[in-house]
C-alpha cells in the first residue's frame, strides 16, 4: 500500500500509531507489546497484520516467538508521515506511559541475561554451555597473533582471554555482569596476568576508545545481545585499521529452552545473517563457516565468522 491517502488512514488509528511509535524505537515481540499496551493478543496481532500489509512493519520468527520492527526500507513519504504522526501525539499521556513501559520491558530483558550470568559466575567453565567446545575454541585460537591488543567482548570469566594473555601485549575483557568481572579479575591476579584487565560494560556500548585494539572477539556472546548488529558495529569501531574480528556463535537452531536455560536472546544465527552483520558494519574479507557439530541433542552447531577492517 503506497497511496498517501491509504497511509493516512492507517495512521489515523490510535492503536496502530502507538504500535508504530514503539516499533520505531525497538524490535518487540507480540507478548512484549501486550505487556506495554495492556491489550489482548488478538487485537495487537490484527493491527500488526494491517501494518505489515501496509508496508510499515516487518516480522521475523525466533522459534515460536514473532518479533516485529519498523521496515528498514520504508518509502520516504511513509517515513515522513509516520514521524509527523508520532510527533503529534508524543506529549499525550498514553504515549508517555508507552515509553515508560517500553523502558521497563527493555530493562527486564537486560536483567534476565545479567541474572543468569551472575548466577553461574565462578562455574561457567565447569558445566555445559551450548557451543562452548574445545574444538570450536581451538579453531579460534589458531587464528590468534601474539604481541597484540585484544578485546574479548562479552567475555564472561574470560576463559579465552586467560589463554591469550600469556602471549598478547594487552587483553581487555568486557562483560555486563559485575560478578563475572569480580571472578575474572581474581583469576587474572591469581595467574599473574598483569596485562589482562576486566571492565564492566555492554558489548553494544563498549567502554574502549576508537581504533584501540588489533583483535576483537565475540565468543558465544552475540546471541545474548539485544541488537547483534550494534555489537558488531562496536567491534568495528574499536578496531584499528587492519584489525580483525572473530565471532564464535551458535548456528540457528530450534531449542526453545535456550531462552530460559542459558539466558539466550537469540536462537543462533543463519550463516547468511552473520555474514550480513559483518558486511553491514564495514568489514572486508568476511568468511563464515561451521566449525563444530555436537553429537548430543539438540545437536548445536557452532559458526566461526571473521572479517578485517580495511585501512592502514
Q: Which domains does the chain have, with CATH numbers?
A: 4-108 (1.10.10.10), 124-308 (3.40.50.150)
62/202: higher pLDDT: 202
Residue 125 has pLDDT above 60, yes or no: no
Q: What mean pLDDT do residues 50-70 have?
A: 91
Cell numbers placing 300:
548445536
Is 70 exceeded by the pLDDT of residue 186? yes
pLDDT band at 142 (very low <50, low <70, confident <90, very high): very low
pLDDT tens-place string over residues 213-272: 999 999 999 999 999 999 999 999 999 999 999 999 999 999 999 998 888 999 999 999
Residue 205: CB partners within 8 Å, gap ≥ 6? 234
Tell me if 227 sits within 8 A of 113, measured CB to CB. no
Beta bridge partners, 117, equal: none
223-to-66, 120, 165, 213, 304 alpha-carbon distances in Å:
17, 17, 25, 23, 13
pLDDT at 190: 93
Local confidence band at 97 (pLDDT 50, 70, 90 cut-offs): very high
What interhelical angle do 41-53 and 14-23 show, nearest 10? 80
> DSSP alpha helices (H): ranges in 204-290?
228-238, 258-261, 271-281
Find out whether 61 and 27 touch, Cβ atoms under 8 Å. Answer: no
| CA 283 to the chain's CA centroid | 17
Residue 152 has pLDDT above 50, yes or no: yes
What pLDDT score does 111 carry? 80
Cα-based distances in Å from 276 to 140, 219, 243, 249, 288: 20, 18, 19, 14, 10
CA atoms within a 13 Å half-sphere pointing along the CA-CB vector of 161: 34
User: What's the rounded mean pLDDT across residues 58-74?
Assistant: 90
Residue 109: pLDDT band with limits 50, 70, 90 = confident
User: Is the pLDDT assigned to residue 175 strictly greater than 80?
Assistant: yes
Compute how many other C-beta atoms are within 10 angstroms of the C-beta atom of residue 226. Answer: 17
- Kindly report whether the peptide bond that precedes residue 61 is cis, defined as omega within 30 degrees of 0: no
Is the CB of residue 199 less than 8 Å from the CB of residue 172?
yes
144 or 276, which is more confident?
Answer: 276
| 240-251 as b/e: b if 16+ CB within 10 A | beebbbbbbbbb
pLDDT at 134: 61
- Position 307 scores a pLDDT of 97
**Whole-number pLDDT of residue 6:** 85
User: Within 13 Å, how many C-alpha atoms sit on residue 80's CB side?
Assistant: 5
Between residues 96 and 135, the one the model is more confident about: 96
Local confidence band at 1 (pLDDT 50, 70, 90 cut-offs)? very low
Residue whose C-alpha is closest to residue 251's, from 286, 294, 281, 187: 294
Q: How many CB atoms neighbour CB 161 within 10 A? A: 27
* Average pLDDT for the chain: 89
**pTM for this predicted structure:** 0.70
Q: Which residue stretches of 145-246 are H helix?
A: 159-164, 178-190, 228-238
Pairing of strands 301-308, 284-293: antiparallel
Mean pLDDT of 36-52: 93
| E runs forming strands in the chain | 28-29, 57-62, 65-70, 149-153, 170-175, 196-200, 213-219, 239-250, 284-293, 301-308
pLDDT the model gives residue 225? 94
Determine what percent of the chain is predicted with pLDDT higher than 70: 91
Amino acid at each position: 500500500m503506497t497511496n498517501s491517502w491509504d497511509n493516512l488512514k492507517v495512521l489515523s488509528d490510535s492503536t496502530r500509531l502507538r504500535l508504530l511509535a514503539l516499533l520505531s524505537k525497538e524490535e518487540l515481540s507480540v507478548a512484549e507489546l501486550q505487556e506495554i499496551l495492556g491489550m489482548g493478543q488478538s487485537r495487537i496481532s490484527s493491527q500488526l497484520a494491517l501494518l505489515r500489509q501496509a508496508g510499515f512493519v516487518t516480522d521475523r520468527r525466533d522459534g515460536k516467538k514473532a518479533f516485529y520492527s519498523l521496515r528498514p526500507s520504508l518509502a520516504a513519504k511513509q517515513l515522513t508521515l509516520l514521524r509527523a504522526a508520532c510527533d503529534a501525539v508524543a506529549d499525550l499521556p498514553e504515549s508517555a506511559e508507552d515509553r515508560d513501559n517500553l523502558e521497563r520491558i527493555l530493562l527486564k530483558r537486560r536483567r534476565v541475561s545479567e541474572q543468569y550470568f551472575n548466577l553461574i559466575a565462578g562455574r561457567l567453565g565447569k558445566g555445559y554451555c551450548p557451543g562452548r567446545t574445545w574444538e570450536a575454541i581451538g579453531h579460534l585460537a589458531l587464528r590468534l597473533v601474539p604481541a597484540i591488543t585484544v578485546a574479548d567482548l562479552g567475555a564472561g570469566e574470560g576463559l579465552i582471554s586467560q589463554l591469550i594473555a600469556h602471549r598478547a601485549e594487552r587483553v581487555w575483557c568486557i562483560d555486563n555482569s559485575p560478578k563475572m568481572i569480580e571472578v575474572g579479575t581474581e583469576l587474572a591476579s591469581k595467574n599473574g596476568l598483569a596485562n589482562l584487565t576486566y571492565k564492566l560494560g555492554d558489548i553494544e556500548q563498549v567502554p574502549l576508545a576508537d581504533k584501540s585494539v588489533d583483535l576483537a572477539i565475540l565468543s558465544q556472546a552475540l546471541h545474548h545481545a539485544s541488537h547483534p548488529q550494534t555489537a558488531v558495529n562496536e567491534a568495528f569501531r574499536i578496531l584499528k585499521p587492519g584489525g580483525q574480528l572473530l565471532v564464535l556463535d551458535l548456528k540457528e537452531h530450534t531449542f526453545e529452552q535456550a531462552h530460559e536455560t542459558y539466558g539466550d536472546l537469540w536462537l543462533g544465527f543463519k550463516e547468511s545473517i552473520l555474514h550480513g552483520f559483518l558486511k553491514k558494519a564495514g568489514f572486508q574479507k568476511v568468511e563464515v563457516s561451521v566449525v563444530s557439530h555436537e553429537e548430543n541433542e539438540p545437536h548445536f552447531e557452532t559458526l566461526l565468522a571473521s572479517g578485517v577492517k580495511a585501512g592502514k
